[in-house]
Structure 1
């Protein structure tokens, strides 16, 4: 019985066929790559567009916010002096190079977001197009037709590398549009593109090593975190250790300073080597197999797993642990800078405008820290709630529901675990920020006030949880609109004043509905009302799931 080629894939030409000893024919190793790329583009045109446009927009908005803040040489010199003596800021942003120029300051303020963002994009998309496709069975189905054995790997690598190059080109164009020097703008765009390419290749290896997409993505994200941490320690300690990190390599290009292109050759060589390793590993394993065999579970499950809440926690625990570590580190890094904020902005009229005047600058800063930590918690909540849709389309939800679990209990327990985890993550960030400030200042008197302020944005996080739940339950096709709300909350909260956004536009963000503590007095009425909106959206999502049919893909 012959198998028809999958829709959208070309039939194999006679020239691409070769006789097998036992009869039949084989196809070239990369046959169907172009068609497979078109298939990925058709299926993920929105996802890819959001990643690319979002990274360009966030980096461009950050760069735009810096322009004009340090308008004269004296302000730039004061900024450079402050940053040179701030280990925490160097750890977050990279080596303080060319800070006497507007371009250098712009890179210093934006490169962490741009480089880490494009690296994570590369990890998640690469794993999705390789190990993720194998998990769903689509790769095996396509391989039964005319798809070459290396086509999935090659298509994923080429597509994600191209997406990284587009992000780099967009960032360079944004810098040029702001009037920054061409050489530095193009070099920084190349930094971003090369970062995405090297982590694309490393993610291809991760997809060969581990058998599950979630684990492979976690390993790839771990590489990103390790590279960032090694670079951070190296930059604080003199720079030697930074040469052991791909992120350290690209940042050694020093755009708007020395404008060195040669450091970019190091990550490109690593990318080529990693891609070669992935190509080799892909040829020695079966479709669906991996170098590390999945560990068999116990013959009998513990009694603690015989409940829906325990199942929900079990499914989320790895993600919770990773996010918790990140929140502690982010809170500590941001909190350690609080004592230096007043010195950074004193005498700079533009910066004092950003922080609401010379009075209460430290409180304004920690209000922004609370917002950022709240946005991180919202990102965790959105990604975790949207996983419910994956449980549904994969058929795993149906297995639980036919075993006597009601839809309300299935979704409600998942959302309850997510909400409790979001509170715990907020606490992790709050502990990091408050403790770091107390250690930096030697004064623990402000610790309770700062710790409490970090929890104020949780009501807005509850709205994000509710929105994601409502979309999954009532309009699953529109579920990714949740990320648009999170992105807008970041833009409105972080850049609203600098971009001159109108009040109604800022108020579209749920984070604007609560007080900006500790800079503003706590408004319990607005906080409770925001929390109630989140609860109402959750109820709507649960009821919507109860009324509609389950959908499998």
Structure 2
């Protein structure tokens, strides 16, 4: 029998560590996350703040006298109007602050939730999916440090937005927009953001993929909005109390200035965050609680083609945008029948509709709404067009291109899905808009008219894809600059009509050259020229990608 002894002058192995601080390294990860998002977060916060600030400031001219404000209040006192805006209690006050809260909180709460979800998934599941989390956790970093840091960054971003809104709106000097109401208004947004950040802390535990985690959290935001709309449009607001968006709206800034609904958001956020931490202990790093389905032993014929493979990667996002835009179009269509009554007496809106043209208010209003639907569709095409960049930076493009698959065919598959998918979601938006519009007005002809009006914007979407491909092909590190196209299109195409921007600003956007159907007459020349521009940009982008080096891992 032999025994091993330590050599003289050497230490015995240390006993395995059984405890430890699960939050070790959180402060360092917070600083690191803030460093990585030093551009992204300020852009989000400033965009949300400026959108609200500019809207509030425009009220000086939109509702310049009490009669205009009274007309604005009465115009939305319909089930469809309340579903689009918020609870009827706001209509008991016709001050600037009440109108701002009624029109904006439900919409901006969705955007704040989107920001919060993306922050959490970016610094948790995306880190695990790329393998960086495992590398970081091999150092002195606790199990919960990544999630705690992500939630902390989301909380800091929401707090900064709340304070900026409170200070900015108070400084406007609008009648009825006081400091106390502005503080409630700002923290209502922060409360909504915290809830959806905590929801993302749960969804990242179930799936091993960032897109799945983000998509599930965004679906929760969508459900919350639908519940809020359904509750506010009826006589019973029970459904609204099932939604965090309904909670923050019922803080009633500038009307009642109630804080206790925001405490519901805080309790919900704490509960979801605690569940996220608890669930994270039941899975391995990089894995999800939901087991992966075993794949087929052999790939289908479609999966072996570039387009089929790209469609497999994009199908979840394509289905989500398709369903979302159909519902969004249906929501706008449901108020077409009340459009003339809702907009009566608001001089600036009426002037904007007159500039659009059209035989009726319904046609002019529909053409303005079409810009909003098209901009949302452009969000899909930019995301889809930049998917090759994500595949490249994640290291998944290199093994594919090491086979007989050419660069052009690989990128071409993704572009085919972006172009075809963008056209599909656009047609679904127009179809939903037309069906609901026909039901609300009794005019069945709106179904083909609005579907065709939506499809007229397809060449502008193709140009947007072309811009993204050019950036990806020649300036890959600047690929995200493609998001300027949809943002600019919304600012000048929708807000510019109301705020009376110069005509040349609209001409800088590809969407500004599309005839404003159904209010305007159809013109084929701009569509043909935009299609040629799109083809040229696609060719240029593919040429650049073939010539540059591939980013390898």
TM-score, scaled relative to structure 2: 0.92
How far 1:267 moved relative to its partner?
Answer: 0.9
Q: 2:85 matched to 1:93?
A: yes
Counterpart in 2 of 1:17?
none
Counterpart in 2 of 1:340?
338
Find the partner of 2:136 among 137, 142, 146.
Answer: 142
Find the partner of 2:30 among 30, 37, 43.
Answer: 37
Measured against aligned partners, the alpha-carbon deviations of 1:48-70 in whole angstroms (never above 9, x if no partner) come to 22222222223333333344212
Counterpart in 2 of 1:131?
125
Check the 8 A contact 1:27/1:147 in 2, yes or no. Answer: no
How far 1:406 moved relative to its partner?
Answer: 0.7
Measured against aligned partners, the alpha-carbon deviations of 1:211-240 in whole angstroms (never above 9, x if no partner) come to 221111111111111111111111122211
Using the alignment, how far apart are the partners of 1:483 and 1:67 within structure 2?
Answer: 31
- The size of the alignment, in residue pairs, is 534
Please give the secondary structure, in 2, of the residue aligned with 1:224.
Answer: helix
Check the 8 A contact 2:77/2:88 in 1, yes or no. Answer: yes
Query: 1:64-143 maps to which residues of 2 (within 5 A)?
Result: 64-85=57-78, 87-99=79-91, 100-143=94-137
Counterpart in 2 of 1:472?
472
Counterpart in 2 of 1:367?
367
Using the alignment, how far apart are the partners of 2:539 and 2:503 within structure 1?
Answer: 29
Counterpart in 2 of 1:421?
421
Check the 8 A contact 1:63/1:110 in 2, yes or no. Answer: no
Q: Structure 2 vs 1, CA of residues 484 and 203 (structure 1 numbering), >3 Å: closer, same or farther?
A: same
Using the alignment, how far apart are the partners of 1:329 and 1:49 within structure 2?
Answer: 31
Q: Give unmatched runs, 5+ long, in structure 2.
A: 1-12
Measured against aligned partners, the alpha-carbon deviations of 1:423-480 in whole angstroms (never above 9, x if no partner) come to 1111101111111111111121343223221222222211111111111111011111
Counterpart in 2 of 1:13?
none
Q: 2:191 matched to 1:197?
A: no
Measured against aligned partners, the alpha-carbon deviations of 1:256-305 in whole angstroms (never above 9, x if no partner) come to 21111111110100111111111222233322232222222122222221
Using the alignment, how far apart are the partners of 1:531 and 1:165 within structure 2?
Answer: 44
How far 1:210 moved relative to its partner?
Answer: 1.8
- Runs of 4+ in structure 1 over 4 Å off: 23-27
Using the alignment, how far apart are the partners of 2:255 and 2:547 within structure 1?
Answer: 61
How far 1:152 moved relative to its partner?
Answer: 0.7
Query: 1:522-533 maps to which residues of 2 (within 5 A)?
Result: 522-533=522-533
Using the alignment, how far apart are the partners of 1:67 and 1:137 within structure 2?
Answer: 52
Counterpart in 1 of 2:398?
398
Counterpart in 2 of 1:484?
484
Using the alignment, how far apart are the partners of 1:348 and 1:500 within structure 2?
Answer: 15
506-515 or 111-120, larger mean C-alpha shift: 506-515
Using the alignment, how far apart are the partners of 2:165 and 2:460 within structure 1?
Answer: 30
Find the partner of 1:235 among 232, 236, 245.
Answer: 232
How far 1:242 moved relative to its partner?
Answer: 1.1
Counterpart in 2 of 1:14?
none
Find the partner of 1:207 among 193, 199, 204.
Answer: 204
Query: 1:378-389 maps to which residues of 2 (within 5 A)?
Result: 378-389=378-389
Q: 2:56 matched to 1:59?
A: no
How far 1:30 moved relative to its partner?
Answer: 1.6
Using the alignment, how far apart are the partners of 1:286 and 1:306 within structure 2?
Answer: 31
Using the alignment, how far apart are the partners of 1:541 and 1:62 within structure 2?
Answer: 37
33-42 or 316-325, larger mean C-alpha shift: 33-42
Measured against aligned partners, the alpha-carbon deviations of 1:52-102 in whole angstroms (never above 9, x if no partner) come to 2222223333333344212222222222222112x2232222213333222
Counterpart in 1 of 2:319?
321
How far 1:393 moved relative to its partner?
Answer: 1.4
Counterpart in 2 of 1:4?
none
Find the partner of 2:284 among 283, 286, 301.
Answer: 286
